[in-house]
Amino acid sequence: MSGAPFIGVLALQGDVREHVGALTRLGADSAPVRALEQLDACDGLVIPGGESTTMSRLARIDGWFEPLRSLRAAGVPMFGSCAGMIMLADQVLDARPDQETVGGLDVVVRRNAFGRQVDSFEMDVDMPVLGERPFHAVFIRAPWVESVGQGVEVLAEISAGERAGTIVAVRQGPVLATSFHPELTPDDRVHRYFVDMVESRGERSRGSA
């Protein structure tokens, strides 16, 4: 990887433009990924927030699942926000019977766990990997993580109220996911964290070449 990393944003459906904007502000080369052949150029890939059943259906119809799984198996960093978290989970509760996922995160995720669109909310979440300052998180029909397997690092939990202890951000190796939508805030720290993941992989690759 030379120069700025290319981080694609899967453009099946969802908050594509917002992710591209955040990544571009951070100096990454970013663009929507609309064609399968674009995956070959990706140093990292974002699966955005949106509607997970629609994403899954479109991915199945257009033949995205196997290429995405191959990309993930090759160790290319991936980041999923909200619906993207569902797409990266190994197991999803309250999903449609035919809903597929890319997988890669050894977690059990509950779809729409926080409620319907009218139940959307915002709150500050402590995420120590981003520093001491809380992250102002936007939850829209959001999933949560019910359980994690070995090797999964919990990055953020809700710390107060009736939802205290609920897991809302995780990482397993090169795969990162959040229940909330960092792309809908001006705070780019989650995206900076992901860009650092991508750049670190590139440095390791160059070192072993």
Per-residue pLDDT of the chain (209 residues; tens, 9 = 90+): 448 999 999 999 999 999 999 999 999 999 999 999 999 999 999 999 999 999 999 999 999 999 999 999 999 999 999 999 999 999 999 998 889 999 999 999 999 898 777 578 999 999 999 999 999 999 999 999 999 999 999 999 998 888 899 999 999 999 999 999 999 999 999 999 999 999 998 776 655 54
- Asked if 98 and 62 touch (Cβ cutoff 8 Å), the reply is no
Strand partners, 6: 29
- The residues that are catalytic are 82, 181, 183
Please name which of 163, 153, 55, 168 lies closest in space to residue 109, comparing C-alpha atoms. 168
pTM value is 0.94
Q: Give pLDDT, residue 1.
A: 41
- Backbone phi and psi for residue 147, each to the nearest 5 degrees, phi listed first: -155, 155
Task: Find where tokens 């980041």 sit.
Answer: 79
The DSSP 8-state label assigned to residue 152 in this structure reads P
